[in-house]
């Protein structure tokens, strides 16, 4: 009887259809905390909130528009976990950049004595990141990817202007925003990989 | 400060050859030193640039991490390479010729990106040679252990690989550069110049040796010729090419001129001698002739008076005999002397000569001290002729000696020769007379013929010997030197 039960179990196991691998419940916990499995909804909510909260400006409007497009692409890419994750990361990065730009608008524009070196290092790194954006832009399947590059470059230039005006906090925020846009572009470029064979 | 000059051609050629080789060796050492120094400088420069590029690469990776929540090493390989390619595209473009990338120790995977020059199209993924991959692994292992930037170098064929690596999270960032070593391209591009240099060096040394050899052989040939010319003035130096040939020709020309000059001088001497002979003969002949003339005039007067004249006839006959003697001596001086030499003891010869001058010796009360060595003193001589020579010398010595004076005759052997010294105690021969002592028909005596010493020297010369004199105040010594054996004079 035991033998019969065993054979039956084996037969059931062999005849059962192959299940798709489950989406992990949590993404690896990065430095900034990656979205949870419900990140689609969370990101959409964040975008809506940002649209409502932020005063409209050309850069922020463009960032929100791009984030909306990317979120839509992410929605269509749920079957590819890697692409999906990269696009959501890009959206969040753009929203972070929009936050920095909005913050920079609010910062008092008076010369400062503090953060001379810190802002300088941020802008130095930003300079190279903006140059990397040109390369990443060539890899995206977006024919308007140049807008990212232009915006990143523009924010970098504004940051440089603020640095020259000794507005170090504003310079750092604009530089951060520029680098975040480049990171977003990098994520979009990585999302074009059709079938990443290794994922850690 | 004066340095001693090298005397021989060999030394000079050696110094020049050594100096030439030293110059070439010094030049080679300088070139080698310049090449090696430049290589070291290039290597150091490349190493510094690799370290700077690696540092910048790490800085950019950190910069990226500041805005991204995903550690690079957790991305799929393709995504990771997109990120790193973007980073390296900005960093390595500022470092032409430097390859850079990452190494994942967990997977032992190496990825590389390079932008050889800013002008050229960037090479997205340059191939890494096996040597380069091994070098990166070594550097990565060192960087992982040291947790700091490390650098190093290694050889691959004729290139030197220098590189730097630094750990960044779970991966190692690396840069490397190939440094072409100067010596090989230098040898490659200047091969023909180096061959030409070596060839010209060999040619130079060969030329120096050749010049030395030709100079050496030419000078030796001239030296030998000059030595032979001393004995045989008709000899001429062999013709040699080049400058030494001109020297040889000049020496030959000089010899020709000297020969011609000597012939001319000989002719002049002969003429002068003939003049002396003629004047001597005239002087010698005139006296008996005057005497005969006077006697014949007296005889004529006496015959007219009818007085017997046998005395005058006898005087004439005596003068005619004297004339005959003079002519005989003249003939004897002119004809070649035939010698009948053989090796014999010289003491009896000397003794015989001394006996022959016994009468004039007694007349002047001169004593002869004979100093002959014990044992035989042998010489290759014609005894009657040497006796004649010794008689001449002894008679001159007796004439020159004061009354009751002493004439010393000493014979001895020295250096394969026998010397006989005849010394008198007379006055010194005046300086103006000395050059003419052996001249024929030159005499300072009232009744001398001037032929004694001339004939004596001729006889001695025919024996291969010599006749010389030393004259001091008081006394004159005539030294007769004869060879002990026939041919000894030739050998000497």
Determine the pLDDT at residue A161: 94
In the numeric block, which tokens belong to residue A111? 């010369």
Highest mean pLDDT among B218-227, B398-407, B483-492: B398-407
ipTM of the complex: 0.76
Q: Which residues of B touch A86 (CB under 8 A)?
A: 79
Least confident of B33-37, B323-327, B444-448: B444-448
The reply to whether A56 touches chain B by the CB within 8 Å rule is: no
- Average of per-residue pLDDT across A13-34: 38
Percent of chain A with pLDDT over 90: 40
Considering only CB atoms, A132 lies closest to which of B65, B78, B90, namely: B90
B78 vs A189: CB contact, 8 Å cut-off? no
Angle at B442 (CA atoms; ends B441, B444), nearest 5 degrees: 130
Residue matched to tokens 């079938």: A195
Whether the predicted pLDDT of B115 surpasses 70: no
Residue matched to tokens 């030293």: B22
B82 vs A89: CB contact, 8 Å cut-off? no
The reply to whether A84 touches chain B by the CB within 8 Å rule is: no
Percent of chain B with pLDDT over 90: 9
pLDDT tens track for A48-69: 888 887 667 888 999 999 999 9
Nearest-CA residue of chain B relative to A130?
B90
State how far Cα A119 lies from the chain centre.
22
User: For residue A22, with 0-12 CB atoms within 10 Å meaning exposed, 13-18 middle and 19 or more buried, which class applies?
Assistant: exposed
Determine the pLDDT at residue B126: 57
- Average of per-residue pLDDT across B217-243: 81
Contact B153, B161 (CB under 8 A): yes
Q: Does a structural domain hold residue A18?
A: no
Q: Which residues of chain B approach chain A closer than 8 Å at the C-beta?
A: 59-60, 63-71, 73-79, 82-83, 85-87, 89-91
CA distance B94 to chain A (A): 11
Q: B75 by DSSP, 3-state: which?
A: coil
Considering only CB atoms, B70 lies closest to which of A30, A136, A179, namely: A30
In the numeric block, which tokens belong to residue A24? 């992990």
Q: Which residues span the domain enclosing A172? A: 29-191
B70 vs A93: CB contact, 8 Å cut-off? no
CA distance B189 to chain A (A): 41
Output DSSP code: residue B364.
T
Confidence of residue B280 (pLDDT cuts 50, 70, 90): low
In total, how many domains does chain A have? 1
B70 vs A82: CB contact, 8 Å cut-off? no
Whether the predicted pLDDT of A200 surpasses 80: no
Q: Which residues of B touch A131 (CB under 8 A)?
A: 89-90
Q: Does a structural domain hold residue A34?
A: yes
- Average of per-residue pLDDT across B386-411: 90
CA dihedral sign, ordered B156, B162, B166, B168 = negative
Confidence of residue B447 (pLDDT cuts 50, 70, 90): low
Whether the predicted pLDDT of B191 surpasses 60: yes
The reply to whether A106 touches chain B by the CB within 8 Å rule is: no
Whether the predicted pLDDT of B232 surpasses 90: no
pLDDT tens track for B26-35: 988 888 888 8
Whether the predicted pLDDT of B488 surpasses 80: no
Whether the predicted pLDDT of B21 surpasses 50: yes
Radius of gyration (C-alpha) of chain A in whole angstroms: 22
pLDDT tens track for B121-178: 545 455 778 888 888 999 998 988 877 888 888 877 777 888 999 988 888 999 988 8
Confidence of residue A83 (pLDDT cuts 50, 70, 90): confident
In this predicted model, which residue has the larger pLDDT, B81 or B126? B81
Compute the mean pLDDT over every residue in chain B, rounded to the nearest whole number: 80
Closest CA to B170 of B113, B111, B107, B114: B107
Domains and CATH numbers, chain B: 9-189 (3.30.450), 337-491 (3.30.565.10)
Cross-strand partners of A93: none
Output DSSP code: residue B434.
G
Determine the pLDDT at residue B4: 58
Q: Does a structural domain hold residue A65?
A: yes
Determine the pLDDT at residue A196: 67
Highest mean pLDDT among A162-176, B291-305, B402-416, B467-481: A162-176
Task: Tabulate helix, strand, coil % of chain B (nearest 5).
Answer: 60, 15, 25
Whether the predicted pLDDT of A22 surpasses 70: no
Confidence of residue A149 (pLDDT cuts 50, 70, 90): very high
pTM: 0.51
A131 vs B66: CB contact, 8 Å cut-off? no
Angle at B13 (CA atoms; ends B8, B19), nearest 5 degrees: 130
Confidence of residue A188 (pLDDT cuts 50, 70, 90): very high
Confidence of residue A171 (pLDDT cuts 50, 70, 90): very high
Q: Does a structural domain hold residue A197?
A: no
Whether the predicted pLDDT of A14 surpasses 60: no
Confidence of residue B477 (pLDDT cuts 50, 70, 90): very high
Q: Who contacts B442 (Cβ-Cβ below 8 Å, separation ≥6)?
A: B276, B436, B450, B454
A128 vs B63: CB contact, 8 Å cut-off? yes
Q: Does a structural domain hold residue A56?
A: yes
Highest mean pLDDT among A148-162, B268-282, B402-416: A148-162
CA distance A198 to chain B (A): 5
Q: Does a structural domain hold residue A112?
A: yes
Confidence of residue B335 (pLDDT cuts 50, 70, 90): low
């Amino acid at each position: 009887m035991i033998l019969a039960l065993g054979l039956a179990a084996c037969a059931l196991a062999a005849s059962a259809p192959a299940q798709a691998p489950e989406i992990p419940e949590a993404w690896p916990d990065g430095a900034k905390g990656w979205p949870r499995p419900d990140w689609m909804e969370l990101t959409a909510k964040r975008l809506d909130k940002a649209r409502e909260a932020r005063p409209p400006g050309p850069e922020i409007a463009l960032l929100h528009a791009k984030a909306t497009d990317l979120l839509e692409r992410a929605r269509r890419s749920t079957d590819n976990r890697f692409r999906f994750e990269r696009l959501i990361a890009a959206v969040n990065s753009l929203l972070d950049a929009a936050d920095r730009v909005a913050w920079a608008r609010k910062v008092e524009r008076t010369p400062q004595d503090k953060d001379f070196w810190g802002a300088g290092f941020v802008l130095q790194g930003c300079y190279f990141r903006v140059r990397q954006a040109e390369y990443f832009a060539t890899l995206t399947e977006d024919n308007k990817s140049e807008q990212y590059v232009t915006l990143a470059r523009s924010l970098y230039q504004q940051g440089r202007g603020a640095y020259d005006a000794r507005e170090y906090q504003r310079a750092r925020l604009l530089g951060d925003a520029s680098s975040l846009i480049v990171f977003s572009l990098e994520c979009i470029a990585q999302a074009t990989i059709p079938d990443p064979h290794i994922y850690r | 400060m004066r340095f001693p000059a090298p005397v021989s051609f060999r030394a000079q050629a050696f110094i020049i050859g050594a100096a030439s080789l030293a110059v070439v060796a010094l030049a080679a050492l300088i070139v080698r030193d310049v090449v090696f120094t430049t290589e070291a400088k290039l290597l150091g420069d490349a190493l510094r640039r690799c370290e700077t590029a690696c540092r910048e690469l790490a800085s950019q990776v950190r910069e990226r991490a500041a805005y991204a929540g995903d550690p690079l090493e957790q991305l799929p390989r393709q995504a990771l390479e997109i990120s790193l390619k973007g980073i390296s595209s900005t960093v390595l473009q500022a470092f032409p010729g430097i390859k850079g990338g990452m190494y994942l120790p967990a997977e032992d995977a190496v990825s590389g990106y390079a932008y050889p020059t800013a002008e050229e199209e960037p090479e997205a993924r340059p191939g890494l040679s096996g040597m380069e991959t091994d070098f990166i692994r070594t550097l990565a292992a060192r960087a992982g252990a040291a947790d700091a930037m490390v650098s190093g170098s290694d050889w691959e064929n004729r290139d030197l690989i220098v590189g730097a690596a630094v750990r960044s999270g779970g991966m190692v960032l690396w840069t490397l550069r190939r440094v072409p070593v100067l010596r090989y391209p230098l040898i490659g591009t200047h091969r023909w110049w180096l061959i030409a240099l070596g060839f010209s060096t060999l040619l130079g040394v060969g030329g120096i040796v050749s010049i030395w050899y030709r100079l050496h052989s030419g000078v030796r040939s001239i030296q030998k010729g000059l030595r032979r010319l001393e004995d045989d003035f008709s000899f001429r130096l062999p013709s040699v090419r080049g400058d030494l040939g001109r020297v040889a020709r000049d020496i030959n020309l000089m010899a020709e001129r000297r020969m011609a000059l000597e012939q001319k001088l000989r002719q002049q001497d002969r003429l002068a001698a003939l003049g002396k002979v003629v004047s001597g003969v005239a002087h010698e002949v005139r006296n008996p002739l005057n005497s005969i003339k006077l006697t014949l005039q007296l005889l004529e007067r006496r015959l007219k008076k009818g007085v017997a004249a046998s005395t005058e006839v006898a005087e004439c006959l005596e003068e005619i005999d004297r004339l005959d003697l003079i002519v005989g001596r003249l003939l004897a001086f002119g004809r070649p002397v035939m010698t009948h030499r053989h090796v014999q003891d010289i003491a009896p010869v000397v003794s015989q000569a001394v006996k022959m001058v016994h009468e004039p010796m007694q007349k002047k009360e001169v004593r002869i001290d004979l100093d002959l060595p014990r044992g035989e003193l042998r010489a290759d001589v014609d005894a009657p002729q040497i006796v004649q020579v010794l008689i001449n010398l002894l008679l001159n010595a007796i004439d020159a000696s004061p009354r009751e004076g002493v004439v010393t005759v000493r014979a001895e052997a020295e250096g394969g020769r026998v010397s006989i010294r005849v010394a008198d105690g007379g006055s010194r021969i005046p300086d103006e007379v000395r050059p003419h002592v052996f001249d024929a028909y030159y005499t300072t005596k009232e009744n001398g013929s001037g032929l004694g010493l001339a004939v004596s020297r001729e006889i001695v010369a025919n024996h291969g010997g010599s006749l010389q004199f030393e004259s001091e105040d008081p006394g004159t010594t005539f030294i007769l030197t004869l060879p002990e054996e026939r041919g000894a004079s030739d050998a000497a």
